[in-house]
């Protein structure tokens, strides 16, 4: 990118393709509207306001933009789910609850380029016919909430929000709504309940698909921060040009957040499917730490199934079938799904051979036990049981058959809950047990098999 | 005793409620945030005040307060520290960070439970709790002190010296 320089130590890697993160860590860039307008800010909104709404929706559909929050659902298709006969108000909510462990991208957009998000939201609101919109920002981002509120006020002042925007007759108000530290608010129906001032218990689908019955039981579109930013860029260069980046059915760029045992953890915006796991770890992140070997990778946030370093994955069908090592996996939605995991939220957690698998799984299980909303019994009880069992494994107080029990508990949550948290909390345990059973069992004690141990002894042993 | 909400705070709250033209109940979280920010925690009186302000039964407010980890019903220290506990930060040393912070601030976490996650120092200056993923996983271990965010915390004395007054 000519004419742009980045702060020392935060210069993008040569294999990056910066679109949404173009201005992150950029020298001379700030979050003010003057800076944003100086580089063509809000021109796409002006352009959008003169277009037929359906044309914008079709353009986003044609681009093949898939949701960057976790599920990878096509954004334009989601917008198209608003019933055509609808007469109720339509709402759009930006999901800035960023709380999937391993994910840290939206934070930087909110802090450093809030107008990019507001412009994307305003275009999306116009396209779906929303006049009232909320940005749901997690409570742990107090600074981000202030910055975004200031940006909203600036956009108001310049006539990009409010009544009759740029003389188009379109009205839009955007407000920041702050969460209060609950992971489940990232689930779109839980988020909606939270925005209605309630406990964020997810709603059952059907019938509560947000596009039909969302906020205040009106059609509601919930999109991730990064997804909404892309809307602006699709309009800027057109769906065809935008879809030339990335790979078929996995178009565009996305931000990978890499953490754990690499030399240079951080955020990297890449063309989807154009870089492999090996390139991400060995080139972009500077490789593993000296003398260490790769043990496992969690490729899409902590609820994504773990990949073992020595697995061989068969992807594609028939003549297209091919075998991949972990290093060869292109970082896209479809290949990671074919490898039995998911691209999820883009949070890549790298685990080397210095780590105990029991300890890693226990840390994850503690997270989900803490965050289960408690609405569905299999998840409320099961997530806690999984935590208790791995607490015992880590404390050296588990028997080998506890690993079978652990697996059985996970299998009895998956598919038996109102929302996808059931899968999110059981997939780590299922995949870790399937792929690292020997190591987990090696941390248990056969002499405890069948022993009658009372709950107090166990609790004390586990240090609870 | 009813909650003494200063007029300027009440005005801020009333303004904030206008962000929810469809349903006042939607303002439960923001009203609680305002009150917690001002009073440090949410007392029974704060719950009742919120309920009256939004024309709700108090239980509708209390159930929100007791659900969300971001709301607290007990007074924290002057400086409230949240250390990220989750995987990437734990790999980067967040449990060690928690231990060091407790040692330096004289906080005893032995009484901490799921429903009482906060421990306060004897002098009331500091309190601490583990938080789940604070979304800065590449730059762990991370923590928050009140509303300030700190990445890659290695210099604990340097961190605490910013909050010594």
Residue A2's pLDDT is 58
- Are residues A412 and A378 in contact, defined by beta-carbon separation less than 8 angstroms? yes
Measured distance CA(A433)–CA(A445) in Å, rounded: 17
Q: pLDDT tens digit string along A348-369?
A: 999 999 999 999 999 999 999 9
Identify all chain B residues contacting A106, using CB atoms and an 8 Å cutoff: 135
Measured distance CA(A268)–CA(A287) in Å, rounded: 14
Kindly state whether residues B84 and B156 are assigned to the same domain: yes
Distances (CA, A) of A215 to A87, A203, A408: 15, 11, 37
Q: Does B147 touch chain A (CB under 8 A)?
A: yes
Peptide bond into B165 cis (omega under 30): no
List the single residue in B25, B87, B138 with the smallest CB-CB distance to A197. B25
- The overall average pLDDT reported for chain A is 95
Q: Is the dihedral of CA A343, A371, B30, A92 positive or negative?
A: positive
**ipTM, two decimals:** 0.97
Residue A430's pLDDT is 98
Kindly state whether residues B52 and B93 are assigned to the same domain: no
Identify all chain A residues contacting B29, using CB atoms and an 8 Å cutoff: 177-180, 194, 197
- Are residues A233 and A19 in contact, defined by beta-carbon separation less than 8 angstroms? yes
Residue A461's pLDDT is 60
Chain A: give the shortest CA distance to residue B4, in Å.
Answer: 23
Residue A373's pLDDT is 97
| B38: containing domain | 7-67
List the single residue in B64, B131, B135 with the smallest CB-CB distance to A104. B135
Q: pLDDT tens digit string along A123-174?
A: 999 999 999 999 999 999 999 999 999 999 999 999 999 999 999 999 999 9
Kindly state whether residues B59 and B123 are assigned to the same domain: no
B135–A103 CB contact, under 8 Å: yes
Kindly state whether residues B59 and B115 are assigned to the same domain: no
* Phi/psi of residue A153, nearest 5 degrees: -65, -40
* Closest residue in chain A to residue B56, using alpha carbons only: A197
Residue B119 lies in a domain: yes
Kindly state whether residues B26 and B48 are assigned to the same domain: yes
Residue A255's pLDDT is 97
* pLDDT tops 70 at residue B69: yes
Kindly state whether residues B84 and B43 are assigned to the same domain: no
A178–B30 CB contact, under 8 Å: yes
Chain A: give the shortest CA distance to residue B26, in Å.
Answer: 4
Q: Does A440 touch chain B (CB under 8 A)?
A: no
Kindly state whether residues B87 and B24 are assigned to the same domain: no
- Chain A, window 133-172: residues with a beta carbon less than 8 angstroms from a chain B beta carbon: 138-143
Q: What percent of chain A has pLDDT over 90?
A: 94
B131–A139 CB contact, under 8 Å: no
* pLDDT tops 70 at residue A222: yes
Q: Which of B67, B94, B117 is the last residue of a domain?
A: B67
Q: pLDDT tens digit string along A17-38?
A: 999 999 999 999 999 999 999 9
B132–A265 CB contact, under 8 Å: no
* pLDDT tops 60 at residue A464: no
| Angle value at C-alpha A282, between A324 and A255, nearest 5 degrees | 85
Token pair listed for A198: 């309630």
B87–A349 CB contact, under 8 Å: yes
* pLDDT tops 90 at residue A453: no
The angle, 0 to 180 degrees and rounded to 10, between the axes of the packed helices A114-128 and A53-63 is: 120
Residue B127 lies in a domain: yes
Q: Which residues contact A303 (CB under 8 A, 6 or more apart)?
A: A100, A344, A368, A423, A424, A425, A427, A428
Nearest to A12 by CA among A329, A255, A300: A255
A180–B29 CB contact, under 8 Å: yes
Residue B48 lies in a domain: yes
Residue B164's pLDDT is 81
Q: pLDDT tens digit string along A226-281?
A: 999 999 999 999 999 999 999 999 999 999 999 999 999 999 999 999 999 999 99
Residue B141 lies in a domain: yes
CA A197, chain centre distance (Å): 24
Identify all chain A residues contacting B149, using CB atoms and an 8 Å cutoff: 143
Kindly state whether residues B54 and B121 are assigned to the same domain: no
Whole-structure pTM value = 0.95
Go through the domains of chain A in sequence order and give each one's CATH number. Answer: 33-244 (3.40.50.11540), 247-352 (3.10.20.600), 357-461 (1.20.1440.230)
- Chain A, window 71-130: residues with a beta carbon less than 8 angstroms from a chain B beta carbon: 89, 98-104, 106-107
* pLDDT tops 80 at residue A67: yes
In three-state secondary structure terms, A267 is strand
Chain B: give the shortest CA distance to residue A243, in Å.
Answer: 29
Residue B2 lies in a domain: no
Residue B72 lies in a domain: no
- Are residues A329 and A279 in contact, defined by beta-carbon separation less than 8 angstroms? no
CATH number of the domain encompassing residue B104 = 3.40.30.10
A104–B90 CB contact, under 8 Å: no
List the single residue in A138, A197, A355 with the smallest CB-CB distance to B28. A197
Residue A113's pLDDT is 98
Kindly state whether residues B57 and B91 are assigned to the same domain: no
Measured distance CA(A175)–CA(A92) in Å, rounded: 11
Kindly state whether residues B109 and B38 are assigned to the same domain: no
Residue B55 lies in a domain: yes
Residue B1 lies in a domain: no
CATH number of the domain encompassing residue B24 = 1.10.10
List the single residue in A195, A257, A367 with the smallest CB-CB distance to B137. A257
Chain A: give the shortest CA distance to residue B71, in Å.
Answer: 7
Chain B: give the shortest CA distance to residue A98, in Å.
Answer: 7
Residue B2's pLDDT is 84
Residue A3's pLDDT is 81
- When divided into structural domains, chain B yields a total of 2
Q: Which of B44, B67, B90 is the last residue of a domain?
A: B67
List the single residue in A102, A182, A196 with the smallest CB-CB distance to B69. A182
Q: Does B116 touch chain A (CB under 8 A)?
A: no
Kindly state whether residues B114 and B151 are assigned to the same domain: yes
Identify all chain B residues contacting A175, using CB atoms and an 8 Å cutoff: 19
Q: Quick one: pLDDT band at residue A457, thresholds 50, 70, 90?
A: low
A74, β-bridge pairs: A66
Kindly state whether residues B45 and B100 are assigned to the same domain: no
Q: Quick one: pLDDT band at residue A460, thresholds 50, 70, 90?
A: low
Q: Which of B16, B40, B67 is the last residue of a domain?
A: B67
**What is the DSSP-derived secondary structure letter of residue A6?**
B
Measured distance CA(A191)–CA(A212) in Å, rounded: 16
Q: Quick one: pLDDT band at residue B115, thresholds 50, 70, 90?
A: confident
Residue A459's pLDDT is 63
């Amino acid at each position: 990118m000519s004419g742009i320089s980045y702060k020392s130590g935060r210069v993008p890697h040569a294999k990056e393709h910066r679109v949404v993160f173009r201005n992150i860590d950029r020298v001379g860039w700030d979050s003010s509207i003057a800076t944003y307008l100086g580089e063509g800010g809000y021109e796409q909104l002006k352009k959008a306001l003169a277009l037929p709404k359906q044309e914008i929706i079709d353009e986003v559909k044609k681009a093949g933009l898939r949701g960057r929050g976790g599920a990878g659902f096509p954004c334009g298709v989601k917008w198209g789910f608003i019933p055509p006969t609808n007469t109720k108000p339509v709402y759009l909510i930006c999901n800035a609850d960023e709380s999937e462990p391993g994910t840290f991208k939206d934070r930087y957009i909110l802090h450093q380029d809030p107008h990019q998000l507001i412009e994307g939201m305003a275009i999306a609101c116009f396209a779906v016919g929303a006049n009232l919109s909320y940005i749901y920002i997690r409570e742990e981002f107090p600074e981000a909430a202030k910055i975004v509120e200031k940006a909203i006020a600036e956009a108001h002042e310049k006539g990009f929000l409010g009544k009759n925007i740029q003389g188009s007759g379109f009205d839009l108000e955007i407000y920041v709504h702050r969460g209060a530290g609950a992971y489940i608010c990232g689930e779109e129906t839980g988020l909606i309940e939270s925005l209605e001032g309630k406990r964020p218990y997810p709603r059952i689908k059907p019938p509560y698909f947000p596009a039909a019955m969302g906020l205040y039981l009106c059609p509601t579109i919930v999109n991730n921060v990064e997804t909404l930013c892309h809307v602006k860029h699709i309009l800027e260069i057109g769906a065809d040009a935008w879809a030339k980046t990335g790979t078929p059915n996995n178009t565009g760029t996305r931000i990978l957040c890499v953490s754990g045992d690499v030399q240079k953890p951080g955020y990297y915006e890449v063309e989807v499917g154009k870089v492999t796991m090996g390139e991400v770890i060995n080139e972009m992140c500077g490789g593993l730490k000296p003398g260490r070997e790769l043990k496992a990778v969690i490729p899409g946030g902590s609820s994504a199934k773990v990949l073992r370093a020595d697995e061989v994955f068969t992807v594609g069908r028939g003549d297209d079938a091919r075998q991949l090592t972990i290093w060869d996996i292109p970082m896209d939605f479809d290949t990671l799904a074919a490898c039995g995991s998911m691209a999820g939220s883009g949070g890549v957690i790298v685990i080397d051979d210095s780590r105990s698998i029991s300890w890693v799984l226990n840390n994850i299980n503690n997270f989900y036990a803490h965050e289960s909303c408690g609405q569905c019994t299999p998840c409320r009880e099961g997530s806690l049981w999984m935590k208790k069992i791995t607490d015992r494994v880590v404390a050296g107080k588990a028997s080998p058959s506890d690993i079978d029990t652990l697996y059985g508990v996970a299998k009895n949550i998956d598919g038996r809950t109102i929302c996808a948290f059931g899968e999110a909390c059981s997939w780590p345990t299922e995949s870790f047990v399937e792929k690292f059973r020997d190591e987990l069992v090696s941390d248990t004690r056969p002499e405890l098999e069948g022993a009658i141990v009372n709950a107090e002894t166990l609790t004390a042993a586990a240090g609870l | 005793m009813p909650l003494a909400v200063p007029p300027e705070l009440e005005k801020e709250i009333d303004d904030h409620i206008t962000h929810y033209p469809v349903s006042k109940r939607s303002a439960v979280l923001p009203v609680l945030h305002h009150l917690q920010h001002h009073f440090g925690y949410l007392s029974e009186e704060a719950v009742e005040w919120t309920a009256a302000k939004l024309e709700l039964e108090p239980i509708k407010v209390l159930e929100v307060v007791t659900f969300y980890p971001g709301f607290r019903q007990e007074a924290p220290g002057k400086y409230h520290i949240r250390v990220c506990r989750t995987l990437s930060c734990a790999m980067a040393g967040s449990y060690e960070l928690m231990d060091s912070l407790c040692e330096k601030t004289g906080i005893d976490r032995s009484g901490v439970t799921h429903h009482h996650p906060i421990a306060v120092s004897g002098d009331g200056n500091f309190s601490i709790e583990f938080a789940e993923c604070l979304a800065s996983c590449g730059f762990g271990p991370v923590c928050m002190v009140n509303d300030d965010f700190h990445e890659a915390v290695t210099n604990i004395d340097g961190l605490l010296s910013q909050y010594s007054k």
